[in-house]
Structures are given as structure tokens and as C-alpha cells.
Amino acid sequence: MKISITKDKFNEALKELQKDYRIFAPKVFPKAGVFSDTDLIKYSEIGSYEEMAFHEKSHFSPKEVTLPITQILFHFNEKEFTESKEDEMGTIVFLRSCDMHAVKRVDAIYLQNKYEDYYYKRVRDKVKFVVVGCERSYDSCFCVSMETNRFDEYQMGMSIKKDEIFLDIKDEVFHVFDGEKKEFEMNFVTENDIKVNVPENIELKDVIDLEMWREYDARCIACGKCNFVCPTCTCFTTQDIAYSDNGKVGERRRVWASCHVDGFTDMAGGHNFRQKHGDRMRFKVMHKISDFKKRFGYHMCIGCGRCDDACPEYISFSNCINKLNKELKGGE
């Protein structure tokens, strides 16, 4: 059912949904950005249309709603462990088409990668998604090249056109949105300024010793920001936290990890597989545009460009893909 709806009616419906769901969307945090006078846009709980920030690209992705930065798995003492409590409430996430494609990738890693991850699944099962169209393409986006610029199998679609709200309701939960029947097309972008040519069927032996990775030995400072803003980076580490009043009692947490930072490949005995920062870049690139596709049939990178926006050394992932393509074609 396609409708147009006023902001007041939209907010009334959000209030109704909040009885059973926590609602997440990109939200502006004034002056909390990289510089003292810049804002931060990140996913957070919202209660009204006015709090949603779809006028710009969010700096962080919706990934942290389903895959929290820190997640308590269980509590332990010397005799037993107790599973952490589930949130009884459901979750609704308003997100863009590329980020919805990213959810598909995270699902592949956590639900279809031989084993089903119990802690991911129990959160994921309670989430509904609203795909929001993009009024325009943003700096550094290359979603069209990665074929993530549109997503049609949404539970509800939303288009914001010159401050008018249009909804395409497919899931009965969203029938609380009460508007006037109206035909409209979702406003997915069809062109980006940045285009990438992803090389296909890459073999590790053809890329492992390329000179191009050495550029990143010096430029990359191994801060991991690119991984933390990426909607499809899914690596984690585990930490056992012992409580200070009794060291035998504590909790096990799952915490985001980054393949760029020191220590990620440390092994017992002190061996480290990828000491050079350029080798870490190569590993990430291969995962995003080759290894994942070999297993699941589509690229892991969704072309959101957040890694380019976040890198303090101005390293561009899209440039890197194009450089690799050129190298593999003999510099053409």
C-alpha cells in the first residue's frame, strides 16, 4: 500500500510503535564530530521524524544496532555461567538501500557461514527495516558500481521528497501509518560521481606481491577507523572481564575488532601474519571484493564510501580498487 503522510501523523504512528519497538535512525549529535565545530551523525534511538537525519550520509552505519560494539554474551562465576538477558522489545531501523544490502552481508557471515551465531540471531530475529530512498548521491558513494543503489524487498519503503513523506507499506506492523493513498516511486540514486571497476576472479598469487601495497605501509597509520565505520566489517574479539570485588566472577564480552590495528593477527608464540600496514590493506581489499564473493556470490563492499570519509590519511578504498584493477590489467 502506497501512501503520503503528514509529519504529525507520522509521529503519531512512531509513538504507537514505541510501545513494542525501539526505533533507530541516523541522528545528529551537534559538535561531536571529528573537528570541534563539526557534527556527528550516527544511529541512535529516535522518537520523531524531526530527529531523523537523512539530509546527509551518516558517519557510522546501522551495523551497531544488530551487532553492538560491545555485547555481553554471558556472566560467569567459578561454578557456572548464565546467558545474558535478551531485550524483550523489538527493533525498527530506518536505513538507506546500501545499508540494507550491508545487513544481507552481515547476515551471511553470522547466519549462513556454516554455523548460525546464536547471539546475533536472537537480536536479528526481532528487527524490522524501513528502507529510505536517497535524495542524491553523496561524496565518496559508489553504490551504483557495487549494485547496492536500490533495494526492493523492504518491509516498508520511505521516500522524502522536498519534505513530503511517502510510504510503501508491505509489512502489517507498519499499518499504524495512516495517510492518503498515493502512487510514487522510491527515489533510489542511479548515478554516482565515483565509479569503480572491480577486478573479477582475483587469485591471491597475482596480488600478494604487488608493489602498490607498499604505498600503504607508509600512509596507513593502522588506526582501524575504516573498519569501525564499515557496515560490512564483522570481525570481533572476546574479552573476559573479572569484577574487581571478586576476580572469579565476571562476564564475557564480544567486542568489535579491526584487521588494520596492531595485534589482530597475533598468534601464540608471538608470530604476527601481517606486520606491514600495506599487507593489512591488501587483506581487507581481498576480503571486500574477492574472498567473500567466492563464498557467497556477491561482493562484501557495498560502496558506501564511509571508509574514505573516515580515514585520517585520506586513503581512498574506491581509488585502491581502481588501482588494483589497473595493475591486474597490466597498467591499462
Q: Which is nearer to ligand SF4, 207 or 302 (CB)?
A: 302
Of the two residues 134 and 230, which places its CB atom closer to ligand SF4 in the complex? 230
Closer residue to ligand SF4, CB minimum distance, 137 or 179: 137
Of 102 and 169, the one with the shorter C-beta distance to ligand SF4 is: 102
Written as nine digits, the cell of 308 is 574514505
CB of 48 to ligand SF4, least distance (A): 28
Q: Which lies closer to ligand SF4 via its Cβ, residue 30 or residue 297?
A: 297
3-state secondary structure string across the chain: CEEEECHHHHHHHHHHHCCCEEEEEEEEECCCCCCCCCCEEEEEECCCHHHCCCCCCCCCCCHHHHCCCEEEEEEECCCCEEECCCCCCEEEEEEEHHHHHHHHHHHHHHHCECECCHHHHHHHCCEEEEEECCCCCCCCCCCCCCCCCCCCCCCEEEEEECCEEEEEECCHHHHHCCCEECCCCCCCCCCCCCCCCCCCCCCHHHHCCCHHHHHHHHHCCCCCHHHHHCCCCCCEEEEEEEECCEEEEEEEEEEECCCCCCCCCECCCCCECCCCHHHHHHHHHHHHHHHHHHHHCCCCCCCCCHHHHHCCCCCCHHHHHHHHHHHHCCCC
Q: Write down the least CB distance from residue 303 to ligand SF4, Å.
A: 5
Site residues (CB under 6 A) for ligand SF4? 220-226, 229-232, 260, 288, 301-307, 310-313, 315, 317
Q: Would you say 23 or 220 has its CB closer to ligand SF4? A: 220
Supply the minimum distance, in Å, between the C-beta of residue 204 and ligand SF4. Answer: 19
CB of 288 to ligand SF4, least distance (A): 5
Q: How far is the CB of 73 from ligand SF4 (least distance, A)?
A: 25
Residue closer to ligand SF4 (CB basis): 243 or 273: 273
CB 91 within 8 A of CB 24: yes
CB of 233 to ligand SF4, least distance (A): 6
Residue 176 or 261 having the CB closest to ligand SF4? 261
- Amino acid 53 reads A
* Least gap, CB of 80 to ligand SF4 (angstroms): 40
CB of 113 to ligand SF4, least distance (A): 18
Pairing type for strands 164-169 and 2-5 reads: antiparallel
